[in-house]
Amino acid sequence: LIYKYSFSYAFNNKYIWNYNPLKEKKEYEFGGYATNYDSKTLNDIVNDTIFWKADIPPFLPPLEQSVTEVEVISKIFNSRKWTGKQTTLANFKENAHKSDILHLSLHSLLASKSSEQNAMIFQKTGANKDYILKSLDLIGLRLNNSLSVLSSCYTSDGKVISGEGMKSLARNFSLSGSPAIVASQWQAYEGQTMMVLIKFYENLKKGYSKDIALQKAQIEYLEKSKGIYLAPSNWANLILIGDTSSIDFDNESFFVSNTFLISIIIFSILMFIFSFYMFLKKEYKYWKKKSA
């Protein structure tokens, strides 16, 4: 089906009608956050009592390609990246709203019994204990960007609540003002996810809509892969949720980006006024001559 159709999902029906809220002008086209993690951070995640409700693996491996992923993608855009020890929760909260595209290549935690405990894990530095971004913390961020990409495991998964749907990390990014989210339905394999996302961003830069950009990226992955790497578990985890429209990377105002169109409209209005004036003048002379 991926060869015939592009797919997207929606938390509610406003996105079905090409919902596209007014976008704030941003400092950067792309803002990336990635860390390989040190052993202390990984041990603290597993041992942290705050996650007694979360589904924590007994061992979390370093993310060996996380930083590479962000560094490669950042070259496509006007970018700012936070990697390694810079990938702190404090830096994220301070700078997240500055980027039109927000990209997080981090470990995430899925809490099947308590969705409020769903979280993304940043780098722990020194005595800093504030390195856990919980689902509920996202709602007050006010991102107001075009796209958030959650390059982490299970970021579109969560507990299904009657009348509300699935309460996932992706859903709370939407509530924070991000109209489109690319997230993972299950485990995200580093190498395969990076291959798809690099092509996805290249397609976005070329002007493709988000759903087509992801479709073409997944097809290109399949065409370059062999054997077990063709299995959907390697590439079909990434889905688009929300607004599918393309992204204007010029970040110009309507009047700047549509100068030629506006010039034609103004010229047409002036020509209409002039023609109407000449018509009235001609009619005035006609009736004046007739009354004489």
Q: Which of 238, 228, 136 is nearest to 187 (CA)?
A: 238
CATH number of the domain enclosing 89: 3.40.50.1460
Same domain, 243 and 283: no
The answer as to whether 264 is a domain residue is: yes
In angstroms, rounded to a whole number, what is the distance separating the alpha carbons of residues 171 and 200?
A: 21
Residue span of the structural domain in which 273 resides: 253-292
Residue corresponding to tokens 């209005």: 269
Same domain, 185 and 280: no
- The pLDDT value recorded for residue 17 is 47
The answer as to whether 91 is a domain residue is: yes
Same domain, 277 and 214: no
Same domain, 273 and 150: no
Same domain, 287 and 161: no
Same domain, 18 and 90: yes
The answer as to whether 38 is a domain residue is: yes
- The pLDDT value recorded for residue 33 is 95
Same domain, 267 and 139: no
Same domain, 135 and 259: no
The answer as to whether 121 is a domain residue is: yes
Q: What is the pTM of this model?
A: 0.79
Same domain, 263 and 245: no
Same domain, 203 and 180: yes
φ, ψ dihedrals at 255, nearest 5°: -70, -30
Q: Can you point out the beta strands (E) in the chain?
A: 28-34, 79-83, 99-105, 107-109, 119-121, 132-134, 147-150, 158-161, 165-168, 180-184, 238-242
Same domain, 64 and 172: yes
pLDDT in tens, the chain (292 residues): 678 878 777 776 555 444 555 567 888 999 999 999 888 778 777 776 555 555 656 567 889 899 999 999 999 999 899 998 899 999 999 999 999 999 999 998 887 667 777 889 898 877 667 888 888 888 788 888 999 999 998 888 877 777 666 778 888 898 888 899 999 988 888 889 999 999 999 999 999 999 999 999 999 989 988 888 888 888 889 999 988 888 887 744 444 445 556 667 787 888 888 787 777 777 666 666 666 6
Report yes or no: 91 and 130 within 8 Å, Cβ to Cβ.
no
How many domains does the chain fold into? Answer: 2
Same domain, 89 and 232: yes
The answer as to whether 3 is a domain residue is: no
Q: Is 200 helix (H, G, I), strand (E, B) or coil?
A: helix
